[in-house]
Amino acid sequence: MSEHTLNICRSIVSEYFEILGEYSYGSRLDLILGLPKKWDNLEDTLTNLYPKLTASNCNPLLSRDERGLVLYVFEGRESHNLAINIGLAITTLFTVFLSGLALSGARESLVGAQGLAWSPIAYVIGLLIPLIIHELGHWSFMRLYKTPSSLPYLIPAPPLQLGFLGTFGAVINLRWLPPSGNSLSLMALAGPLAGYIVAIPLAVYGVLSSVSVTTLPEGTLTLNIVPLSFIIIHSLAWRGEGYMLLSPLAFASYVVFFVTFLNLIPIAMLDGGHIVRGVAGSIAHSIISRLFILVLVAMAVFNPNFIFFALIAILLYFISGGKHPGPAMKVESSPNVSLITSILYGVLLVLTIPIPL
């Protein structure tokens, strides 16, 4: 840590706490904390200290050891290269548009396969808008809690013509841990919840624009596993006879629901893992992760369509060691916020769970 940054970090902490001792280890500063200065309790002091530090490029991590209450401070790394975000976004728009061409072009001869929902743009809108809103949901709460993060990245993939969907989704690089369990769970929930809400009307319009066929065209992909939300929308909005041939917009919505469930799996650093760690703590996170993996494996034994989910969960579990670092400041969570977050998470998980057909 540079001398300049060290002085800034120390100065900020000294406004909030008595500093009983100080140790410097390269890029890390250890501050032994005494009594809070500005507030009567530790919780309020830590809550107000965190954004002051991160705004000054000082990333804090609170812990206890034989020395007492220790605040580890690391120098932040600001490295936003907007050109990379723009380049990835343009490439992703192109590959997703190509996938949309494959979906719409193959249906030109079908009666009723007309309108916006059948255009290549519909697939772009139906897939990328919910994904972007998903990431902006995360990003808005990261800004709210002053948690260092990158801008959202769109990740391109080969188009549908090559067996992929045109994108591997989107991601935000979290540069530091959020301050509390509540902030961790709210940041994680805001993304899938926002994306899901946007995807619902797109899915409804996409299903209403799909067409009925008595026989499926050659090469048509049949869906053997469908998210519950899509099944509900189909049962309420679809009035056709025979097979339903999905419009590009409806197929994009199906993918969004599918990906949302994958994100909500309570493993490691997935959104579901963040939520469970923020709400329930380290031990419960570990137990729930293992139980969920066992459930997915059991489901895969009876239905091979769940093998993909089981393998992803197992892989992420072993990569992370089954652990989650948790929040930076270990501030006590509000039970009301935890309860609301848990309910919304449970509802969203159920609504997007894949159902074998």
pLDDT in tens, 174-192: 889 999 999 999 999 999 9
Contacts of 305 (CB under 8 A, 6+ apart): 224, 225, 354, 356
Tens digit of each residue's pLDDT (9 = 90 or more) over 58-117: 999 999 888 889 999 998 876 678 899 999 999 999 999 999 988 886 565 565 567 788
H helices of the chain, in order, are: 3-16, 42-55, 82-105, 120-144, 181-208, 228-237, 248-264, 271-280, 282-302, 307-320, 335-352
Share of the chain above pLDDT 90, in %: 54
Q: Which domains does the chain have, with CATH numbers?
A: 3-75 (3.90.1070), 82-356 (no CATH)
What's at 223, amino acid-wise?
L
Q: How confident is the model at residue 269 (pLDDT cuts 50, 70, 90)?
A: confident
Mean pLDDT of 123-149: 94
pLDDT beyond 90 at 54: yes
pTM over 0.75: yes
Q: Regarding predicted confidence, which is higher, 117 or 31?
A: 31
Angle between helices 120-144 and 82-105 (to 10 degrees): 150
pLDDT beyond 80 at 208: yes
Burial (Cβ within 10 Å: 0-12, 13-18, ≥19) of residue 144:
middle
How far apart are alpha carbons 312 and 261 in whole angstroms? 12
